[in-house]
Every structure is written in structure tokens, then in C-alpha cells.
Structure 1
Amino acid sequence: MTTDALFGGRSFAAFLFDMDGTLLTSIEAAERVWSDWARRQGLDVEAFLPTLHGKRAIDTVRQLGLPGIDVEAEAEAILQAEIDDVDGVREIGGAAGFLSALPPDRWAVVTSAPRLLALRRLEAAGLTPPAVFVTADDVTIGKPEPDCYLLAASRLGVAASDCLVFEDAPAGIEAGERAGASVLVIQATHTAPAATVHPGVGSYDGLRVATDTEGRLILEREAG
């Protein structure tokens, strides 16, 4: 088997993974819950749904500026509905195998989901959370601000600029960029190619990780 090195063969101190749309797909469940909520608020569901991915629920609700609602209470109700509904949540192709090949101290999950929901979805997808696990509960300001990725890198003891971020949504891609990291776009849940300057892959099938003499990570893809 021959492989091609991505990112020009550059080595990274660590890999930082978004969760929803990147390691697992929760679109079916999330859109069921949010569609029900949006209809109750009188929103145009089709126009609204594309705006919610990759951000914290509380930020999505707050940014709508709906009159007469308790933003925190609405976000909590949505969270509970999402915890209750994980039907259709599953890993993105090859994710479990790829993660299992990584040194445990060289990767983190960085998600806009609260911790309880993130753990529920990882369990539903058959994925094990890593030692470094940054959720919406750990930051005051969510994606596209870079705080979550900066925090994950700090907890791993590395610089964010020395990391590779795996992302799928515009808010997360921007967060990775603003953290100074390199970005790989996971396109498994995209219906059309993402409008981005970053390289992308459809799944983890065919991806491999090599380590150099210092234990740094090099991302490779099977050739042919």
C-alpha cells in the first residue's frame, strides 16, 4: 500500500476534532428537534436549519433576537430534547478506527454541544471520548470564536498553531482559522462541496496517521 502525505508532509503536535458532522452525524436528530422548536416560534424552518450547525444552542437562540423568550430556558429545553433523541446518530465512515490509531495524548474533541449531549451522542455513535474533551460548558463564547480550540490545545500542552483541526461547519472552520491552526474539512454530511480554501475528505476511510521520531503526527491518505 502506498500513501500520499497531506499538508505537504507537515507534522503536527496534535489533532483537534469537532464532533457533530466531523466524527459523527447527528443531522437527522438535531434537525428533528430544532424543526419542532422553530415551528413553535413561527420561524421559516427551511431557512433556519442551515444556520444552526456548528454553534452552541444558546448562541443560536440568542442571535435570533426573538421577543419575549427566555433564551437560557429555551436552550435548556432544546438540550433535553436532543439528549432524548439520538435516533440516527452514527459515526462517520472510518472515524473510530482512525481515532484508535492516535496516541491518546495527541488529540482532543472540541464541540459546540454541552457535555451531557456530547457524551450521549458519542455513546450512540460507538465512539469513546478522549482525555481532553472541550464542550460548550467550558467556554463563555462559542464558535466561530477560537476560544474552544485555544483551550483544547492548551490542555494538550501545545500551541494551537501547531495543531490540525478537523471540521465540517463554517463556524467551526472559522474558529480553527482564528486559532491559527491548519484545517481539514470533513465533507461526509455536505450535499455539495464546501466553499473553502482548505483541503477536504469525504470520510476517514483511506486516511492514515504516521508519527515522526518526536511523536508528531503526519496525516497520510492511501494513494490510488
Structure 2
Amino acid sequence: MFAGSKFAAFLFDMDGTVLNSIAAAERVWTTWAERHGLDVTAFLPTIHGRRARETIAALNLPGVDPLAEADLLLKAEADDLEGIVPIPGAVAFLQSLPPERWAIVTSAPRELALLRIQAAGIPVPAMMVTAEDVTHGKPAPDCFLLAAKRLGVAARDCLVFEDAPAGIAAGEASGASVMVISATHVHPLVTPHPMIRSYDEIGIALDDSGWIALAPERAVA
């Protein structure tokens, strides 16, 4: 798994990658979809990994303003934080990383991202890229390119942690390496990238320059 590779920084998606907010998100989006007469079962798989405004805009619903609807969804999601939990092993793994060597890169708005991070009990990153920071959301690579720039590294030297097809595509387009987190996957995902279900499966080693290599598993003190 990336044997012999070292990375300048790790870039983590949030939902489904370091925390699991699927139940809360799907409760809110189910209510929204029912109000607009959508087939909920067919619609829900499309909400993951993309900004709400782009998910809504892709539906081309008559008379629906994607930005206004996204604002309403933000308020509803901010009020529903029940059942949000960390991905197994994520808290300890993030705590093991140098703060200046990782970031969260999410399609969620900053307000919602901070609420979910707090609810899950994962470390707040020193740097975070959220929905407001880019013009084009995932699967465009803009968010990962911006995160790398803010960390002062090249995207090609980063490892992106993702769970959703849109985010995986964004990581690929940025030139970064990609690790897929499958903890929340109901159905197998076909991908050429390495995949783990838990951060307990990996650990890190730092070289003298602060670059990060993955180890097969984290050493237990």
C-alpha cells in the first residue's frame, strides 16, 4: 500500500471519510426529496460527495433556486446532528499527524462542517477547505488544489482520503494519490486505488523533513 512512497501532506474528505453523518444527512435530504416529489430511493445515493447546490441544480426542478434550497438544507442539517460518529480509528490517526501536514477538504459549508466535527469528536484541523472556498465543487479538483496550496505543498505530493466517486474523481484530477475509505459503503466500490475500512489498518512514519509514509498498522503504545 503505497510502498516506498512519502507524502508532503494528507487531505481528508469529511463525511464518510473521517466521520459518518450518513443517517443525519439522509434524514434531512429524504424530507426535502419527498417535498419535491422525488423518488427517494433513487435520489439519496446522488447526494454524497458533492455540494448541495450542485446536487440540486443537476435535478433541473422547475422554479427551484439551488442556492436558496441549499441554505434551507444547511439550516436543517445543522439542527440534526444525532448519530454522527467518527470513522473507526480516525480520531487517533488524525491526532498522530503533524497539524501542519493535514487538512479537511469537504463539500459541506464551513458552519455545518464544524458542527459535525464537534459532534463526532474528531480533531479540528488547523486548515480546512469548505464549500464556500471554491467556485467549482467536486468532482472538480479545485478544493484539493487549494488545500495543497494553503499547506504550501504540491497536490501531486499529497495523499487524498476519499469515500465517494465525486471526491475520488476530484483527487485524481488534482494529481494526488488517492486512498479510498470504505467504512460506510453498502455496496462494493470498484476502484484502482488502495482501500481500507478502518484507520486502525494503517499508521504513519515521518522522515527528517516531515514527509509522511504509511505503515501497515499503527503501533500501539
- TM-score under structure 1 length normalisation: 0.95
Task: Please state whether the residue corresponding to 2:199 is helix, strand or coil.
Answer: coil
2:180 corresponds in structure 1 to 185
1:124 aligns with 2:122: no
Matched, 1:39 2:34: yes
- Mapped pair 1:8 → 2:16: no
Amino acid at match of 2:102: W
Bigger drift between 41-50 and 126-135 goes to: 126-135
Unaligned 5+ segments in structure 1 are 1-5
Structure ranking higher on relative contact order (CA contacts 8 Å, 6+ apart): 1
One-letter amino acid of the counterpart of residue 189, structure 1: T
Aligned to 2:74: 79
Give the distance between the partners of 1:222 and 1:24, measured in 2 at CA.
Answer: 20
Letter in 1 for 2:14: M
Q: Counterparts of 2:154 and 2:217 in 1: how far apart (Å)? A: 28
Give the unaligned 5+ runs of structure 2: none
Does residue 221 in structure 1 map to residue 216 in structure 2? yes
- AA matched with 1:74: E
RMSD of Structure 2 on Structure 1 (CA): 1.0
Kindly provide the amino acid, as one letter, of the partner of residue 152 in structure 2: G
Residue among 101, 114, 119 paired with 1:106: 101
Equivalences for residues 149-188 of structure 1 within 5 A: 149-188=144-183
| 1:108-128 deviations in Å (ceiling 9; x for gaps) | 000000000000000000012
Return the offset for 1:215. Answer: 1.2
Question: Structure 1 vs Structure 2: percent identity of aligned residues?
Answer: 63
Deviates more, 1:178-187 or 1:190-199: 190-199
Aligned residue pair count: 218
2:86 aligned residue (66, 88, 91): 91
Asked if 1 retains the 8 angstrom alpha-carbon contact of 2:10 and 2:161, the reply is yes
What is the alpha-carbon distance in structure 2 between the residues aligned to residue 71 and residue 95 of structure 1?
Answer: 33
Q: Distance in 2 between matches of 1:108 and 1:67?
A: 38
Q: Is the 8 A contact 2:56 2:66 kept in 1?
A: yes
1:29-61: CA deviation from partner (whole Å, max 9, x where unpaired): 000000000000000000000011000001111
Q: Partner amino acid for 2:124?
A: P
